[in-house]
Amino acid sequence: MTINLFIMKKLTSVIKVIPIRLNPSKHTIKLAEKTYVKIDNANNFLTDIAIFFLFLSETVKETFSRNFEFKEFLRQCYQIGYKTLALISVIGFIIGLVLTIQARPALVSFGAVAMLPNMVALSLIKEMGPVITALICAGKIGSGMGAEIGSMKVTEQIDAMEVSSTNPMRYLIVTRVLAATLMIPLLVLYADILGIFGSWVGVNIKGDVNYVLFFTQSFSHFQFVDFIPAVIKTFFFGAVIGLVGCFKGYTAGRGTESVGKAANSAVVLSSLLVIIVDLIAVQITDML
Amino acid sequence: MKEETTTTLEPAITKNGKHVIEIEHLRKGFGNQEVLKDISLKLLNGENLVVLGKSGSGKSVLIKCIVRLLRPDAGIIKVFGEDMSRLTGDGLTEIRKKIGFLFQSGALYDSMNVKENMEFPLRRIKNKLNQHAIDEKIAEVLENVGLSDALYKMPSQLSGGMRKRISLARTIVIDPEILLYDEPTTGLDPVTSDEISLLINDIQKKYKTSSVIITHDIECVRSTADRVIMLHGGLIYQEGKLEDFEKSKDPLIKSFFK
């Protein structure tokens, strides 16, 4: 951080000195200015990363401190879990249904239609269910957290909490991050179940398959270890969504405009990080 | 980096004597802008100290430094004889339990109704009270601010004046010994402003509090001040009794008291 600031100051002085002593062309001055802006942006980016890691370490520290806000944690579990159920139900069901309808003709042409339940279950449980549910949650929960905490900051509610002998990190952040980490895997599981149900409905549009048979076929090639990486990564998705949403809200500026920005950037960044975490998880699973 | 002040103060005389807050050579800046340059003041036990000044003169920054929502760049702030900059964790929490802070915006928690807003600090600060005692305390304080019937209203259902009163009720419900008011009458009509000023005086008499009142509302100053400090350019421009300010020939002071 110190090094970056040093470079910035040096460069500022260069910009001031060049026109007087060297009489450079407009192009040189523009180039120097552009370089300064780029270094400034890089510096801001590095500062943001440093602040995020400080925020993360403070969150971890407060998670294991005494006086855990259990009541607020339960309230957040309700807000994140129960209040997202309807949305996840519709989306999970439709994903399973659409996947089945679209995959069926291809499998029929290969004479492998019997593999349809297994293929849909595999893609739902390993990839589609976790990623799509996490992205939906990033939109709904991440933006909600960013906007709520951001507006609390703008209206001095976080300061009020602090002077009321309440640690805002413990009360607002830890509870939300833990609730998201716990609830999103459950929502993914629920979405997977409804997706498989949607798939069964899809199969029955053009056929007549007993649910028990369909369910048995869905999991016929599955082993228990196949579930583990898919489940583990959903905990990381939850943690990322909770952390980014809270971080963006907590570090929002003082104006009302910053609340909108916090919500927006919470969605963008958490969605991006969900995809990156998924990529890392897939790579690790592949290596094992 | 600004040089850290190393002034050592005499231990504060608090309960039985004089000072509940002592500030020596306080400095606070944001980036290149130095908001408070060298502020030294003392708050006497039981007095209403009004800090007057134009917008941006650092009044709010001053009281936020007192309660350590902001960290000073230099200087010493002692509350009940405790150096606020050295307090951490439980020590800071204990001191904050004795300080009530009325925010400019009211800062009511939007997701909670009036009762929950008042229960929130009460449960954390007076954690030995049972539900019956909490309910009684809330009812008593709401009656004091004249809003007994607003118990189950949400902040969004309250007018500006009602929000301010409820915020005040939430501030005093914990029985603080020091009250810090950040522009308590800003954004209110003259009638409601007068009511809030009277309420501040009533609270001081009833709860025997010491107060720092940040304002640029002269009617509020006239109603509440035992002593006045004017901030200008990050420094204390003048300090004295209200009468001294009223009689002053200084153009800056006259511009406030015309």
ipTM of the complex: 0.85
Which of A157, A169, A176 is the mutation pick for testing B, counting most B CBs within 10 A? A157
- Rounded to two decimals, what is the model's pTM? 0.83
Q: Which of these ranges, A12-21, A114-123, B90-99, has the smallest mean pLDDT?
A: A12-21
pLDDT per residue over B179-229, tens digit each? 999 999 888 888 888 888 998 998 888 888 999 999 988 889 999 999 999
- Cβ count within 10 A of residue A37: 10
Q: Residue range B34-61: average pLDDT?
A: 91
Whether B5 shows a pLDDT value over 80: the answer reads no
The CA–CA distances, whole Å, from A19 to A23, A24, A29, A38, A209 equal 5, 6, 7, 20, 80
Percent of chain B with pLDDT over 90: 51
pLDDT per residue over B108-122, tens digit each? 999 999 999 999 999
Structure tokens of B14? 């608090």
Do B63 and B96 form a contact (C-beta atoms < 8 A)? no
CA A171, CA B121: separation in Å to the nearest integer?
A: 13
Collect all residues of chain B within an 8 Å Cβ-Cβ radius of residue A163: 67, 69, 96, 99, 101
A172 to chain B, closest Cα gap in Å = 12
Percent of chain A with pLDDT over 90: 62
At residue B17, the pLDDT reads 53
H or E segment and range at residue B23: strand B19-30
pLDDT per residue over B221-241, tens digit each? 999 999 999 999 889 999 999
The CA–CA distances, whole Å, from B156 to B109, B112, B159, B163, B192 equal 10, 10, 8, 9, 18
Task: Give the A window 157-176 contacts with B, CB below 8 Å.
Answer: 157, 159-166
B121 to chain A, closest Cα gap in Å = 5
> Which candidate from B103, B111, B124 shows the least CB-CB separation from A165?
B124
Q: List beta partners, residue B235.
A: B232
CA B212, CA B80: separation in Å to the nearest integer?
A: 14
Q: Residue range B3-24: average pLDDT?
A: 56
What confidence tier does A21 reach under pLDDT thresholds 50, 70, 90?
low
Whether B1 shows a pLDDT value over 50: the answer reads no
Whether B42 shows a pLDDT value over 70: the answer reads yes
